[in-house]
Amino acid sequence: MPPRVQTGRVSNTLLPYLTTTSSSTTSSLPSSSSQCLRQFSATTASQTKLRRQMFEWLSTAGAGLKHHVPGETNYLTRLKQGGHDDSNRPFPNNPNFISESILSEGLREEIYKRVVTQKQSLRAVSVELGIDMKRIAAVVRLVELEKRQRSQGKPLALPYARAIHEMVPVTPLADKGERQQYHESINDLPAHPLTGTQIFYPVPESRSFNRVEAGRVFSGAPALTHEEAAEIHHPYDLAQKVIEDPKSIGWVGKGEKARQILQPADVRIPHPHMIGLERDRIAHPNERHTVQHRHAERLARQESLEQEARQRAQARRDASQTTVSPTDSRFDYRIQDTKFTKETTGANGRAPWAVGRRYGVPHNDRTRGTVKIPTRVDA
Amino acid sequence: MVLRIRLARFGNKHNPFYNIVVAQARSARGAKPLEVIGTYNPIPKRPTNLYNENANARPYKEVALDRSRAQYWLGVGAQPSDPVWKLLGMGGLVVPKPTTFHKA
Amino acid sequence: MRNRASNTLSKGKIRQSWSKYNLYNMSRFRSPATMNRTFFQQKWSAKAVSRAYHGEQVREGQWKRMFSRRIKSVIPMNTADLAADDGSLVSAGRGSGLSKEEKPKYPTRQTPYTNMTFAPLERRLDVAIFRAMFASSARQARQFVIHGAVTVNGQKMRHPSYLLNPGDLFQVEPDRVMFATGAPKNKFERRESRLAQKPAEEAEEANEAEQAEVEEPEVKSPKETLKALMAQAKSVMSNDKDTLPAKRKQELRGFQKAVRRVLSRSGSESSNILTQSLEVQFSHLTELLKAKRETKAPKQDNKPAKLQSEDDSLAFDADEPAASDKLSAAFEQATLGNDINASELSDEEFETLKRALTQMRDNPIDHTKPYATPWQPRDYMSAFAFIPRYLEVNQNICAAVYLRHPVARPGSAEVPTPFGESIATPAYGWYLRRRW
C-alpha cells in the first residue's frame, strides 16, 4: 500500500477521539502478522474453503477496509487499482458511480444563518454557495428540526454523525475571505422527453434557427412569425418574459393532449438570471459596478415575483378552507370547500376523481397492481 | 317522502369514511343517493410536528362540503341527520343544536 | 417474507448490505461470461445478478410494474455559453457547404443511462433509509420501518414500499441507527448489560447512583465532571482489559493522568464556580485551560511544538499514524515533567483534550444500550460509506430529505450500483421487452 498523502484538513481531523475510534488509526494498516483473526474458533476443519479464503482475504488485502482513516474515503476500489484518482469510487466495477461530497456541519450552519437569520432568499444563497435550491430548503428544514430536538432534549446520534463525516467526502465551509468551493452544479437542465426524437426539419438559410425555434419544432408548434422572431434577440429575452408572466408560455394540442410549448434552456434552468449577468458582462466589460447592480435588481425582481405567486397560492388555499375549533371537542374540523359540477364529478357523477367514495364503481383495493399504501404524506 | 342529508359509511373495518349524501329517508344506507354533497373522515389526523406552529396544534378531522348544494337542499326542505347537523352547524349553514344532555 | 438475502459465499451475490461477507463477495465479483452465450442468456444472467442487489426484497412482478424505460437525466448548463450564443451558430450554414471552420464544440461525455435501470427502486422508503446510511442493510431498514421506528413528514409510516416523493422528510429513531451502524457488544459488555438489567438490589442501587450522575450534572463543578470522566476512563480500562488494544489502553491511561494534572492545577480556581449545565461546564473548563495556556510564557511553548512537528514528519515517513503517538507524548509530557502543567499543552494537545472531553459527554458508557458503548462504527462500514446526492441527510437527528429522483448526468449516474455498463445494459434490455 502506498503511503497516504496527508493534507492539512486530514491531519486536523486525524486527532483521535480518545474513547472511540482511536483504534482505527492504528489498525488500518495490513499487519497480518500481529492480527490473530481466528481466535474465536478452535477448530479449523469446520470452515469451508470459501470461508477460509474470505478470512484470509480479510486479514491480508482487506484488512485496511476494517477501519476508516478520518478524513479519507476507504473504498474497495483502493485495493483494486491503487490509484488516487479512484479514491471516491466505492464500486470497483462501476466507474460511473462517484461518492459525492456532503455538506459539512459548518456549511449547514452557514446556510441556516443566511436564510433564517439574515433573511436572504434561497436563490441568492444558492448562487453564492453553489448549492441547489432544493438542497438549501432541505438543509434549513433539517437544521430547524435539529434545533427543536435539541431544545426538547431528544436523543441525538452525535458520535455517529461525526464518524460519517470522517468517512465520506465533505464540502467544507470556506474560511473568511476565501472563495466558497461549489458543492454541485446549480444550473441543471432536465432532459425533456420530447427532445429524445431525431427530427429532420429544413430551415431557410436566410433565417437563424436558435434554441427557441428548436423547442417549437420538438413540441410540434408552428414556427414563429417574423415579427415574433424579431422581438426575441436572444433566448434570454424569452426567459425574462416568462419570469414576469409564467402564463405567457403558449400551448399546443387540444383537450387532454394539450401541452406547453417546449421552452429553450434559458427558461428551464433554475437560475436564468445568471445568463442575464453573463450577457451584461459581455456587453459592458468595464463597468463591473453597473453589472452587479443590475444583477442584484434582477434577483430582487424575480424574488418578489415568486414571493407574490406563493402568497397568492397560499391565499387561495386558505380561502377554500375553514378551520373550526369547537370548544366542547378535542378536535379541530377542517372544512374544505368543494364544487360538485360536471367537471369535478364526470358526466354521470361517478368519475374516479370525483370527491367522495363512488357508487356503482368497483372498489379495486384487492386488485393486483393497485397501490394500497399511501402515495403521499402531507407535511 | 322525506329527504334527508345523512352520512353513508364507506371504508373498511375500523377505518370508517363517510360520504355526506342527500337521499330519500327510507332508502338503504348503501343505496345510491340523490346526490353526494361532501365527505367526512372521522379518523382524526395529527398535525405533523415538523413546524413550530404545529407543535401544540390539536388533531383535526377532515370535512369536504359543497356549500351551495347543501344550501339548496336545505332550502327545499331536506332534513339533516344529527351528525350532519353538527357538521353543517360548524360550516355555518344551520344553527347548531344545543347539546341535549346535561350532567346532573 | 422469507429472507433470501443471506450473503452466502458459494453464490457470491452482491447485496445491499455492509457485512464483511458482502464485502468479500464484492471484491471477488466477476461479470458473468458473455462468450458463447446467446443474447438471451446474457440478459438473463445480467438481470439475475443485478436484481440480487437491487430490491431483492421486492417481488419480481412488483418490480416489473415499477420499471420505467424512461430514464431521468440532466445536463449541467454553463450560463456563460448560453449567454454567448443563442444556438443559431450550431445550426447555421448546415448543408450549404460553405462553412468549413470548426463549430463551437461543447465538451461531451457519455451519459450512463442504463446504470439508471433500477432508479425507481431508490424511491422506496427502505432503500432510501439504507442509502442514507441509517441501516446496515436494506433488510434491516425494512425491519425498522415495519417495527415503527420511521416517520415520514412527522407521521409514522409502516410500509417499506412507500414511494418517497420529492421533498419528503424521513426520520429514523437515533437509537436504532446507532445500533445498526455501531460495533456490536462483546461478551464482557453483554454481561455488563445483563447485570444492569438484574433486579437485584445492589444493581439497582448502582443504577441509581449512575443515573444520579447522569441526571444531575448541574450541581457539579467542572472539577467533579473531570473526575467523573476519569472514572469512566478507568472503568473502560478495567472492563475491557482483555479486549482493548494496547495502544488505546495507553491513551486512556495518558488521558487519566492528564485529567488528574489538570485537576490539580485548576482545582483551586474552578471549584468555587458552579455552572448551570454540562455544556457550560465544558466551555468553562476549556476556557480555563486556554486562559492558563495564554498567560504562561509562549516561549516555552514553541520548543515542544517544534519537536512535535518533527516527530510528526518522522512518524509520517514511517507510515505510521502520528496523532495518537503525539497525544500520548503530550500526556507523558504533562505527567512526567515536574514544572510542566496544563498550561503548556500545545494547541493540538489542547484541542485533543477538549475533544476527548466532548467525546466523553456525547458518547458515554451506557450498558443499557444494545450496542457497544462508547459507540464506534462497525467494522468494514467505511467501505460502504457514501451518500448519494438525491438525499440530504442530517446525521445528528437521523433525518433525511428525499430531494428529487435520482438522475443521470454526463459521466455519472446517481443510482448506486456495483455493476458496470456491461451488466447494466443487458439488464435494462431484459426489462425493455415485456414478457408478462
Q: Are residues A107 and A76 in the same domain?
A: no
CB atoms within 10 A of CB A225: 9
Q: What is the pLDDT of residue C297?
A: 37
Q: Do A145 and C169 make contact, defined as CB atoms within 8 angstroms? A: yes
C20-31+38-72+110-180+382-432 belongs to which CATH class? Answer: alpha beta
Q: What is the pLDDT of residue C21?
A: 94
Q: Do B49 and C154 make contact, defined as CB atoms within 8 angstroms? A: yes
- Give the residue with greater pLDDT, C436 vs A107: A107
Of B36, B50, B99, the CB nearest to A340: B36
In a domain, B71, yes or no: yes
| Closest Cα in chain C, distance from residue A69 (Å) | 9
Query: What single string gives the DSSP state of each residue in C125-194?
Result: HHHHHHHTTSSSBHHHHHHHHHTT-EEETTEE---TTPBPPTTEEEEE-HHHHHHHHBPPP-HHHHHHHH
Q: What is the pLDDT of residue B100?
A: 63
Q: What is the pLDDT of residue C339?
A: 37
Of C177, C233, C413, the CB nearest to A96: C413
Q: Which residues contact A39 (CB under 8 A, 6 or more apart)?
A: none
Q: What is the pLDDT of residue C89?
A: 75
| Closest Cα in chain C, distance from residue B46 (Å) | 8
User: From CA A123, how far away is CA A299, in angstroms rounded?
Assistant: 8
User: Best mutation site among B43, B45, B46, B48 for testing chain C: the one with the most C CBs within 10 Å?
Assistant: B48
- Average pLDDT over all residues of chain C: 75
In a domain, B103, yes or no: no
Q: What is the pLDDT of residue A57?
A: 95
Query: In this structure, are residues C129 and C144 in contact, taking their beta carbons and an 8 Å threshold?
Result: yes
Q: Which of A63, A88, A113 is the last residue of a domain?
A: A88
Dihedral sign computed on CA atoms, order C56, C57, C60, C64 = negative
- Over residues A243-256, the mean pLDDT reads 90
In a domain, B98, yes or no: no
In a domain, B102, yes or no: no
Q: Name chain A contacts of C397, Cβ cutoff 8 Å.
A: 142, 145-146, 149, 154, 156-157
Q: How confident is the model at residue B20 (pLDDT cuts 50, 70, 90)?
A: very high
Q: Are residues A281 and A211 in the same domain?
A: yes
User: Best mutation site among A73, A94, A187 for testing chain C: the one with the most C CBs within 10 Å?
Assistant: A94
Q: Look at residues C223, C217, C359, C213 and name the one whose alpha carbon lies nearest to residue C277.
A: C217
User: Best mutation site among B46, B50, B53 for testing chain C: the one with the most C CBs within 10 Å?
Assistant: B50
- Over residues B23-34, the mean pLDDT reads 90
Residue C112 cell numbers, joined: 450512463
Q: How confident is the model at residue C128 (pLDDT cuts 50, 70, 90)?
A: very high
Please state the domain count of chain A: 3
User: From CA C103, how far away is CA C107, in angstroms rounded?
Assistant: 12
Q: Look at residues C123, C129, C154, C155 and name the one whose alpha carbon lies nearest to residue C142.
A: C129
The region of weakest confidence among A18-22, A211-215, A224-228, A375-379 is A18-22
Q: What is the pLDDT of residue C108?
A: 77
Q: Is A338 on the interface with B (CB under 8 A)?
A: yes
Q: How confident is the model at residue B13 (pLDDT cuts 50, 70, 90)?
A: confident
Q: What is the pLDDT of residue C116?
A: 96
Q: Do A357 and B63 make contact, defined as CB atoms within 8 angstroms? A: no
Cross-strand bridge partners of residue C155: C152
Q: Cell 495507553 identifies what position?
A: C250
User: From CA C419, how far away is CA C46, in angstroms rounded?
Assistant: 9
In a domain, A331, yes or no: no
Upper half-sphere CA count for residue C82 (Cβ side, 13 Å): 28
Q: How confident is the model at residue C232 (pLDDT cuts 50, 70, 90)?
A: low
- Over residues A39-46, the mean pLDDT reads 54
Largest pairwise CA distance in chain C = 98
In a domain, B99, yes or no: no
Q: Cell 444493581 identifies what position?
A: C203
Please state the domain count of chain B: 1
Task: Sketch the domain layout of chain C as residue ranges.
Answer: 20-31+38-72+110-180+382-432, 217-362
Instruction: Please say if the pLDDT value at position A83 is more than 80.
Output: no
Q: Look at residues A10, A15, A60, A69 and name the one whose alpha carbon lies nearest to residue C383.
A: A69
Instruction: Please say if the pLDDT value at position C103 is more than 70.
Output: no
User: From CA C358, how far away is CA C364, in angstroms rounded?
Assistant: 10
Q: What is the pLDDT of residue C138?
A: 95
- Over residues B35-57, the mean pLDDT reads 81
Q: Are residues A49 and A149 in the same domain?
A: no
What stretch of H or E contains B20?
Answer: strand B15-24
In a domain, B104, yes or no: no
Q: What is the pLDDT of residue C260?
A: 57
pLDDT tens digits, one per residue of C400-426: 999 999 999 999 999 999 999 999 999
Q: Name chain C contacts of A48, Cβ cutoff 8 Å.
A: 9
Q: What is the pLDDT of residue A11?
A: 27
Instruction: State phi, psi for C169 to the nearest 5 degrees.
Output: -110, 120
In a domain, A185, yes or no: no
Q: Are residues A300 and A208 in the same domain?
A: yes
Query: In this structure, are residues B4 and B78 in contact, taking their beta carbons and an 8 Å threshold?
Result: yes
Instruction: Please say if the pLDDT value at position C59 is more than 80.
Output: yes
| Closest Cα in chain B, distance from residue A347 (Å) | 13
| % of chain C beyond a pLDDT of 70 | 58
Q: What is the pLDDT of residue C237?
A: 52
CB atoms within 10 A of CB B18: 22
| Closest Cα in chain B, distance from residue C163 (Å) | 19
Query: What single string gives the DSSP state of each residue in C330-376?
Result: HHHHHHH-SS--GGG--HHHHHHHHHHHHHHHHS---TTSSS-SS--
In a domain, A122, yes or no: yes
- Give the residue with greater pLDDT, A60 vs C233: A60
pLDDT tens digits, one per residue of A281-303: 999 999 899 999 999 999 999 99
Q: Are residues A207 and A166 in the same domain?
A: no
Q: What is the pLDDT of residue C321?
A: 38
Q: Look at residues A74, A85, A92, A49 and name the one whose alpha carbon lies nearest to residue A164.
A: A74
Q: A361-370: which pairs have CB atoms within 8 A and are 24 or more residues apart?
A: A369/C65
Q: Do A141 and B58 make contact, defined as CB atoms within 8 angstroms? A: no
Residue A307: give the domain boundaries. 193-316
Q: How confident is the model at residue B1 (pLDDT cuts 50, 70, 90)?
A: confident
Cross-strand bridge partners of residue C408: C73, C413
| Closest Cα in chain B, distance from residue A326 (Å) | 8
In a domain, A21, yes or no: yes
DSSP-derived secondary structure letter, B15:
E
> What are chain A's partners, defined as 3 or more CB pairs within 8 angstroms?
B, C
Query: In this structure, are residues C87 and A264 in contact, taking their beta carbons and an 8 Å threshold?
Result: yes
Closest residue in A to B43 (Cα–Cα): A331
- Interface confidence, given as ipTM, is 0.90
Residue B43: give the domain boundaries. 3-90
Query: What single string gives the DSSP state of each residue in A229-275?
Result: HHH-SSHHHHHHHHHH-GGGS-EES-GGG-EEPPPPHHHHSS-THHH
Residue B47 cell numbers, joined: 398535525
Q: What is the pLDDT of residue C148?
A: 95
Parallel/antiparallel/unpaired status of strands A170-171 and B79-80: unpaired
Q: Which residues contact C101 (CB under 8 A, 6 or more apart)?
A: none
User: From CA A247, how far away is CA A235, in angstroms rounded?
Assistant: 17
Q: How confident is the model at residue B80 (pLDDT cuts 50, 70, 90)?
A: very high
Single-letter residue type at B61:
K
> What are chain C's partners, defined as 3 or more CB pairs within 8 angstroms?
A, B
Q: What is the pLDDT of residue A48?
A: 86
Residue C37 cell numbers, joined: 452465450
Closest residue in B to A344 (Cα–Cα): B66
Instruction: Please say if the pLDDT value at position C211 is more than 60.
Output: no
In a domain, B100, yes or no: no
Q: What is the pLDDT of residue A85?
A: 65
| Beta-carbon pairs below 8 A across chains A and B | 84
Q: Do A357 and B69 make contact, defined as CB atoms within 8 angstroms? A: no
- Give the residue with greater pLDDT, C231 vs C331: C231
In a domain, B96, yes or no: no
The region of weakest confidence among A142-146, B19-23, C314-318, C429-433 is C314-318
Q: Which of A60, A88, A116 is the last residue of a domain?
A: A88
The region of weakest confidence among A69-73, B97-101, C298-302, C394-398 is C298-302
User: From CA C323, how far away is CA C348, in angstroms rounded?
Assistant: 9
Instruction: Please say if the pLDDT value at position C312 is more than 90.
Output: no
**Cα-only R_g, chain A:** 30
pLDDT tens digits, one per residue of C375-386: 999 999 999 999
Residue B84: CATH number of its domain: 3.30.1320.10
In a domain, A337, yes or no: no
Q: Are residues A44 and A123 in the same domain?
A: no
